[in-house]
Amino acid sequence: MRIRFLETSTSPATRLVVRLVDQDAIPAGLEPVLAEGAQASRFSGKAGQIFESFVDRSGRLVRVVLAGIGSPAAEDRIPALERAGAGLVARFLTSGETGLTLDLADSGLAADEVAAVLIGARLRAWRHDAYRTRLPDDQKPSLGEIAVAGAADRAEAAWEREAAVAEGVEFTRELVTEPANVIYPESFVARCRDRLAGTGLVLRVLDESEMRALGMGALLGVAQGSERAPRLLAIEWQGGKPGDRPTVFIGKGVTFDTGGISIKPAAGMEDMKWDMGGAAAVAGTMLALARRKAGANVVGVCGLVENMPDARAQRPGDIVTSMSGQTIEVINTDAEGRLVLCDALTWAQREYAPAGIVDLATLTGAIIASLANEYAGLFANDDDLAARLTAAGQASGDRLWRFPMGPGYDKMLESPIADMKNVGPRFGGSITAAQFLQRFVEKDNSGRDTPWAHLDIAGTVWADKPGATWDKGATGFGVRLLDRYVRDSLEG
């Protein structure tokens, strides 16, 4: 979706014109047919309301839309504006209209409010039609541009920042949506090299032999049943002060998860192409940070494997040695994400000595049982980090809910023959998974545990029905959250 700002405040060069309307504040100067039609339709400007009609303007037929954005004093003003932009695109994306003019003259919207409308519109416009060869014409997207007239001062600059975030969300959605025969560890890296080229990001890649030399037995144990070679990808952004310790984002990148020998049921297994949603979110976040020239030092690390039930695959009961030296009894080969993440955690800490770590993973079905698709689970060893992430989630719309951790849950991972098991008993599965990962958080140079948070995003990376700013499918969850965290907590 192309978005451009008109130099003149007059609208419009397109037939489709949109006016945003505050609740109980129908704009003055509307043609009588519009004003009376809106009143007859009980349109009052409530958030989400839409009224449209056709009028003659100087001998030209114009399609005018009034879109309600609610009360200016509402606490959810920004989300309401995002939903308004998204709702407009959802309505007109396949309408046959090719362009839309957003007439903001006399709207009173501030620059950040204009940007909110536009990011809602752009994100809702994203689709992945690459493999649809017989799509009927009336189902093909036609709306390709939004022209913004009469915007507030600095609105274009505010949009440029949000456009960078939108690009990151779109890249994440692309990676998550692609099938596993297209995106696997090596091609994930290749796609990142292509999309991140020229951004100022530096990519480092470890292959199987390098990981083996480092002792990454946990990650490699997951990968050994697949003919697809594993990769560890690091994406570096140095936008802060030289020498400042970076913050590291780590993503689980299981590009397809059969469950291994502990194989999953066939029904719904096709969804496991998005078991790399954490790694995709990290890659998309790094693109967003680079595009907007974020003033912080950040590294994204993606542990990339495929989990398959080959004759070489690890078995339930096998013991692997992680890069940290800790041994793990693999009770369930379908609890593989934590095995990938634990080695990525160790490598990232020893390589970058980070100021803090946030990992993202589609880790457990238990988190969906707890939170459905409304929140991602948050686990942390640091209250300040947890609070900042929660606030960033509330502001961005990628919402988090914090869960408890403690020694009682840690005991559930005890193994009679190794340092730990990779799973606990049936209950509290999301918590015991986090407890497992916490065992791989090391102390920093001051002797305290490195601030760390784990985000279980299993219920939020994919949607079976349209949401506020997405259609069915990949949501891009995590990018806006991490970008907002960087803005609010890491940039001076």
Q: What gap in Å lies between CA 358 and CA 390, rounded to an integer?
A: 12
pLDDT at 9: 62
Strand ordering across the sheet containing 452-456: 202-206, 231-238, 297-307, 247-257, 356-361, 452-456, 376-380, 400-402
Q: One of 228, 338, 388, 487 is an active-site residue; which one?
A: 338
Q: What is the mean pLDDT of each run of 10 residues along the chain (492 residues)?
A: 84 82 88 92 92 91 94 93 95 95 92 97 96 94 95 94 98 98 98 98 98 98 98 98 97 98 97 98 98 98 98 98 98 98 98 98 97 98 98 97 96 97 96 98 91 98 95 97 98 83
The bridge status of strand 99-103 relative to strand 16-21 is: parallel
> How far from each other are the two terminal CA atoms of the chain, in whole angstroms?
32
The token pair at 164 is 């960078």
338 counts as catalytic = yes
pLDDT value of position 106: 85
With CA atoms as reference, report the closest residue to 363 among 348, 383, 342.
Answer: 342
**pTM (2 d.p.):** 0.96
The span from the CA of 57 to the CA of 408, in Å, is 72
Q: Is 317 exposed, middle or buried (0-12, 13-18, 19+ CB in 10 A)?
A: exposed
Domains observed in the chain: 2-149 (3.40.220.10), 165-490 (3.40.630.10)
At residue 484's C-alpha, the angle toward residues 482 and 487, to 5°, is: 110
How far apart are alpha carbons 55 and 43 in whole angstroms? 18
Angle at 367 between CA 361 and CA 370, to 5 degrees: 160
Distance from C-alpha of 366 to C-alpha of 371, rounded to nearest angstrom: 9
Round the CA-based radius of gyration of the chain to a whole number and report it. Answer: 24
Residues 6 or more apart whose CB falls under 8 angstroms from that of 243 comprise none
Q: Are 378 and 470 in contact (CB under 8 A)?
A: no
Neighbours of 365 (CB within 10 A): 13
Q: How far is CA 280 from CA 105, 383, 479, in A?
A: 39, 26, 9
Order across the sheet with 327-329: list the strands: 319-321, 327-329, 420-421
> Among the options 63, 127, 195, 264, which is catalytic?
264
Instruction: List the beta strands (DSSP E) in 70-201.
Output: 99-103, 145-149
Do residues 430 and 456 make contact, with C-beta atoms less than 8 angstroms apart? yes
